[in-house]
A and B are shown apart, each in its own frame.
With several copies, the nearest count.
Chain A
Amino acid sequence: MMDMYQENILDHAQHPRNWGLLEACHFHASDENPLCGDMLEVTLRVDENDIIVAVGWEGQGCAISQAAASMLGEEVIGKPLEIVKDYDKEAILELLGIPISMSRIKCALLSLKVIKAAAYNLENAASDHD
């Protein structure tokens, strides 16, 4: 029954990939889910073709929000910045590969929100629309 706590989720939550902010970065954003207190800060570095070459992030929150950040960070490296702008809720849920209960959707989507804010070069993520 521990559907949401699959081994790979726990592994990402425990050993977050790309942890630590990039000193030299082109894009940066941070945001929080005020209701649950989850926080995330993301930095991105791109090459001359706007391909993402490095991701660095730090955050705090539940296993779902942290695992999602770790998995999304891995996912976008090597992809054009433009593609990241097209990522949506379904993309994240597919990436996580677990059934997310209604009350945890926001946890799962925080990293998407912040990485998009970074890609659009918004210092703070857009306001938090449910």
Chain B
Amino acid sequence: MIDINAIRADFPILHQEVHPGKPLVFLDSAASSQKPTQVIEAMNAYYRQTHANVHRGIYALSEAATTAFEAARDKVQHFIHAAHREEIIFTTNTTGSMNLLVQTWGRANLGVGDTVILSQLEHHANLVPWQILAQEKGFTIEYIPITEQYILDLEAYQQMLNAGNVKAVSVAHVSNVLGTISPIAEIAHLAHQAGAIVIGDGAQSVPHMPVDVQALGVDFYAFSSHKMCGPTGIGVLYGKQHLLEAMPPWMGGGDMIRKVTFSGSTWNDLPYKFEAGTPAIAEGIGLGAAIDYLSNLGMNNLHTYEADLTEYAHERLIEVPGLTLYNPEPVMCGGVATFTLEGVHAHDLAQILDYEGVAVRAGHHCAMPLHRECLKVAATTRASFYLYTTRAEIDKLVEALYTAKTLLGGHSL
């Protein structure tokens, strides 16, 4: 069970007024979550007591730093149930993971006549890298459409697979805009039957629910530390060992080599082949502390808590006159509520909510084509929840929406 007061006490940032008399109501965790003291202190202690460059330093600090950093890799492995620690590649964030994958696996495997399937609800991180490579290599990108219930149209997906030549399917496990939780295991199964590999964008799933990459059957999976109580500056690419081994390296430099001569080089073993240069050491340790924190609470508990909040939020929000919700039913929806309010532009809405202390995100949420070409709106407002969010905060959001309506709602712009 989630003890919300104990949890909130762990997050120092939550206890402040953003404007005089307006306590912070932080509803933008999908963009980046807040960090508990345990995570902040782990990095603090690392810099005060243990820091040194890792790998091959023959002295006490360097060995301690290496042990701590590599322990974080083990924690990630167990957290997502990967088969081997070598399958955990540290990157900068989900975006870095996707670009690594596209630039190595993609560059080596995709060409004219091939198809990559994405979906209409993808974040730019799972669109733009593919588009850039497609320009160079000439393969085709297709997008699984979304239905009127804001879920992926799996029939259309099956037809795309049937058309043949599909080499890869890359989709968000949970949409950062719609909240849609997609049936990744099923998507992966169908893709494998068609001979394609499957990549999951786990940026919005790993922080919020138990994830087992082996049970899901994905070949690659990407996520960001900063959305799961961990620090900025680090992310993860999970990949199946035999696929990672067959891939060429991406960045060249220290640590990723076995042997360098003036005429050429050979590569180090996994995971180091993909980790060039001094790693994000403190950030790895911070991510490890975040995983400890989340694991102690239990990802199942957390997911249940958030699911309940989300249902409550949707219920409260649809009561607001003129509000349109862009989410599937709560049972298929991660911890977000995404909406427009008639007569109030999303940016004005966010601004006015901020005056009330309520922090939400307004815009296209890095999913511009979804907004313009599917939802047919330029911008939505998104409130997103996490383990420290309360029902009272959702009530404040609703209250602030009425304030905004009063101020601006009369003006249809």
Contacts and interface: CB of A to CB of B under 8 A. Distances in A.
A and B touch in the complex (CB under 8 A): yes
B149 interface: no
A83 interface: no
A34 B66 contact: no
Interface string A4-40: 1100001001100000000000000000001111100
B351 A4 contact: yes
A101 B58 contact: yes
Interface in B20-72: 20, 22, 56-58, 62-63, 66-67
B352 A2 contact: yes
12 contacts: A1-B19, A2-B355, A14-B413, A36-B56, A37-B371, A37-B372, A37-B379, A61-B345, A63-B348, A101-B58, A102-B63, A103-B58
Contacts of B379: 36-37
Nearest to A2: B355
A5 B352 contact: yes
Task: Name which of A1, A102, A103 has the most chain B CB atoms within 10 A of its CB.
Answer: A103
Contact of A129 (B67, B269, B352, B407): B269
A37 B363 CA distance: 8
Contacts of B268: 130
Nearest to B271: A130
A107 B407 contact: no
Nearest to B57: A103
A70 B298 CA distance: 51
A14 to B, nearest CB: 4
Given A36-B347, A104-B58, A5 B413 contact: no
B78 interface: no
A63 to B, nearest CB: 5
Contacts of A4: 351
B413 A66 contact: yes
A64 interface: yes
A77 interface: no
Interface in B345-361: 345-348, 351-352, 355
Contacts of A103: 56-58, 62-63, 66
B410 interface: yes
Nearest to A128: B258
Interface residues of A, number: 27
A93 interface: no
B378 interface: yes
Contacts of B364: 35, 37
Interface of B: 19-20, 22, 56-58, 62-63, 66-67, 258-259, 268-269, 272, 345-348, 351-352, 355, 363-364, 368, 371-372, 378-379, 407-408, 410-411, 413
Contacts of B351: 4-5, 101, 104
A35 B22 CA distance: 29
A130 B297 CA distance: 34
Contacts of A60: 413
Given A34-B259, A102-B66, A103-B62, A62 B345 contact: yes
A35 B258 CA distance: 7
Contact of A13 (B259, B269, B413): B413
A114 to B, nearest CB: 17
Given A62-B348, A62-B413, A103-B56, A37 B378 contact: yes
Task: Name which of B347, B363, B410, B411 has the most chain A CB atoms within 10 A of its CB.
Answer: B347
Interface string A27-70: 00000001111100000000000000000000011111010000
Contact of B408 (A1, A5, A130): A5
Given A37-B364, A103-B58, A64 B63 contact: no
B411 A10 contact: yes
A50 to B, nearest CB: 32
B355 A1 contact: yes
Contacts of B410: 14
A60 B67 CA distance: 28
Contacts of B62: 103
Contacts of A63: 345, 348, 408, 411, 413
A20 to B, nearest CB: 15
